[in-house]
Amino acid sequence: MKKKMISLILTAALLTITAGCGNTGTQSGGQTDGAQPPAAESTTQSAADTQAEADTQDSVAQPDAQADGATQAQAEAQSEAAAGDTSGATEGEESSSNVLVAYFSWADNTVLDEDVDAVSSPSVTAPGNVQELAGWVQEETGGDLFSIRVTDPYPSDWDECLDRANEERGEDARPQLQENVENLDDYDTVFLGYPNWWYGVPMALLSFLEENDLSGKQVYLFCSHGTGGLADSVDIIEEAAPDAEISDNIFDCYEEDASSSQGEIQSWVEELGY
């Protein structure tokens, strides 16, 4: 009898210990470890930072640029980001969330030239502005992160990127995407993040909206931009996704404020009920 009691106690103790050793590799958003975007970086963007209108450019015709004195640390973060898979919502992965956080960011869509000038090509080094905002939205909502990526990366040089983006805009192009959201039906809410490109959106965002039907879904937009603000971007998105429920409550921030916007993102997402 005494032996039986001891054996019972030992079994119970063993069970308790095993329960505390669950698989922690999968995070709440269905992401696996290492799939997180790089942690928010405290790149100091002082008031003295200049807005780098490329001097050879016509300031009316050309969009503005942020000059934030990106550091070596940012370049390192870029390679970390490239190594990490942020597309947790793609084929073969199961999601436990009904929230998708899809975003486009230049840093996720370029291959850095060795001699990239991170001052005149601001935000090209990871984390990109929208990439960073998206990471915080994901943290707050527990949603699944999906980086919209083109198959043909953009130049990491500011002027060249502007040129290509402008060409695509002129042609009403739909750049090919690396992948689409496989389990789109699982999501009823989509946070969609993008930078203002040429007074509107990167054309890849339209590829995304045409290939991933957001009809009937609640959509919350967030955007980082230069001095142009949201410009025509919201109208363009509404036109591309006419049956999506696009909320008027849009988060937007100036490019130089993006890296210090975590608190604002938290308040915004809380306001939306998360």
Question: Interface with ligand FMN by CB under 6 A: which residues?
Answer: 63-64, 66, 105-107, 123, 128-131, 161-162, 165, 195-199, 224-228, 255, 258
Give the nearest distance from C-beta 106 to ligand FMN in angstroms. Answer: 3
**Neighbour-count burial of 228, counting CB atoms closer than 10 A to its CB (0-12 exposed, 13-18 middle, 19+ buried):** middle
Give the nearest distance from C-beta 40 to ligand FMN in angstroms. Answer: 14
CB neighbours of residue 90 within 10 Å = 17
Asked if 258 and 224 touch (Cβ cutoff 8 Å), the reply is yes
Give the nearest distance from C-beta 101 to ligand FMN in angstroms. Answer: 14
Q: What single letter denotes the amino acid at residue 167?
A: E
CB of 95 or CB of 135, closer to ligand FMN: 135
Give the nearest distance from C-beta 62 to ligand FMN in angstroms. Answer: 8
Give the nearest distance from C-beta 247 to ligand FMN in angstroms. Answer: 21
Cα–Cα nearest to 110, from 134, 91, 126: 126
CB of 199 or CB of 274, closer to ligand FMN: 199
CB of 106 or CB of 146, closer to ligand FMN: 106
| Element spanning 194, H or E | strand 189-195
In whole angstroms, what is the distance from residue 242 CA to residue 28 CA?
Answer: 31
In whole angstroms, what is the distance from residue 194 CA to residue 225 CA?
Answer: 9
CB of 88 or CB of 200, closer to ligand FMN: 200
Asked if 219 and 190 touch (Cβ cutoff 8 Å), the reply is yes
CB of 63 or CB of 95, closer to ligand FMN: 63
In whole angstroms, what is the distance from residue 99 CA to residue 250 CA?
Answer: 17
In whole angstroms, what is the distance from residue 268 CA to residue 251 CA?
Answer: 7
CB of 95 or CB of 147, closer to ligand FMN: 147
Give long-range contacts, CB 8 A cutoff, 24+ apart: 231-240.
231/196, 231/199, 231/200, 232/199, 232/200, 233/194, 233/196, 233/199, 233/200, 233/201, 236/200, 236/201, 236/206, 237/192, 237/201, 237/205, 237/209, 240/205, 240/206, 240/209, 240/210
CB of 66 or CB of 189, closer to ligand FMN: 66
Give the nearest distance from C-beta 222 to ligand FMN in angstroms. Answer: 11
In whole angstroms, what is the distance from residue 264 CA to residue 135 CA?
Answer: 13
CB of 196 or CB of 207, closer to ligand FMN: 196
